[in-house]
Amino acid sequence: MLERQARDFKVGWIDHSFWEAGSGANLALARTFSPSPTFPPPQPHPSTIKNPLAKPHHQKYLMPHTIAIIVASTPRPTLAIGKSLTNDMPWPRIQPEIAYFYRVTRRVPPTPPTSPFKYINAVIMGRKTWDSLPPKYKPLSGRINVVVSRAASSTTSTFGELWVGDIEEGVRVLKQKFPVPSDEGSRETDEEQELALRRIFIIGGSQIYKLAMEIPKTSEAYPTCILQTTMLKPDYASEEGVDVFFPPIDENQWTKGDLDRLVEVTGEKPERVGGVKEEEGVTFEFRVWERAL
């Protein structure tokens, strides 16, 4: 019984930490904390914690993960993100922005080599964005790729991607396929580490961003604001072919976070993400927006 409680408690902490971006401390605590004769410590059992997000024990694998949007767009009010005719970005490759996207969407806390699992993030995208990826980048490496389509049930996966009918289904499928094991134990050296879901990123395009903004679980957005580029006219709204936009942001719900918060949620170094940057003829700024849950 004691052992069972100990295990439940440990799982409670792990699940709870998903709600606290950057709360690696809780996770580390959960991972290193092993049952002892004095266990459990005098904290309430997770099922009695008055946390509105807490779920009963039997739903431990169904804890809702937060969803984060990551996007590159021109400043408000335009918020241009693409060209529908060519199913492409408004600008040619902006290498620092691509590198940032790669780092942020792949970054996970490490688990010790003896752990039976390792973390992985997931990216959810619309079918058109999936189509826009060159085959050599499919699937986006080191992340679980999920594609949203109305034809999901009749589509065959060719690059290991998962096809789903909507974002909520994507989240459900991810949590079923990649749960955090409840009993960490230790693995035999010849056993492969099991993948466990860490974070979910919505990576576009416009239709999927709009759907994601309507879901309360979407609680963070990491926009890269493309302020100026010599590749395009300054007025993006009238730029020929630029006709795909990020949906309007409700400022009653969303507020801009500061640099400390950006550093905390992305795991990036302040000097790397702070302030307006200029590289390769592009002026841009990494930002974070948060929604009050």
Binding site for ligand NAP (CB under 6 A): 71-73, 81-84, 87-89, 125-129, 132, 148-151, 165-166, 203-208, 211, 244
Q: Element (H or E) spanning 231, and its range?
A: none
**Rounded to the nearest whole angstrom, what is the least distance from the CB of residue 275 to ligand NAP in the complex?**
21
For residue 173, what are the CA distances in angstroms to 90, 150, 155, 221, 249?
32, 16, 16, 22, 28
CB of 101 to ligand NAP, least distance (A): 8
First-last CA distance in the chain? 36
Q: Using the minimum distance from each CB to ligand NAP, give the nearer residue, 126 or 179.
A: 126
Question: Of 283, 278, 285, which is closest to residue 257 (Cα–Cα)?
Answer: 285
Q: Which is nearer to ligand NAP, 73 or 266 (CB)?
A: 73
- Shortest distance in whole angstroms from residue 87 CB to ligand NAP: 5
CA geometry: angle 214, 220, 100, nearest 5 deg: 125
Residue number, 41 or 135, with CB nearest to ligand NAP: 135
CB of 233 to ligand NAP, least distance (A): 17
Residue nearest to ligand NAP (CB): 205
Q: Kindly report the backbone phi and psi dihedral angles of residue 169, in degrees, each rounded to the nearest multiple of 5, phi listed first.
A: -65, -40
Nearer to ligand NAP, 55 or 210 (CB): 210
Q: Whole-number minimum distance, CB 89 to ligand NAP, in Å?
A: 5
- Shortest distance, position 56 Cβ to ligand NAP, whole Å: 30
Positive or negative CA dihedral for 175, 180, 181, 183? negative
For 28-64, b/e burial (b = at least 16 CB within 10 A) is eebbeeeeeeeebeeeeebeeeeeeebbeeeebbebb
- In the bound state with ligand NAP, the residue whose beta carbon lies nearer, of 27 and 167, is 167
Nearer to ligand NAP, 240 or 271 (CB): 240
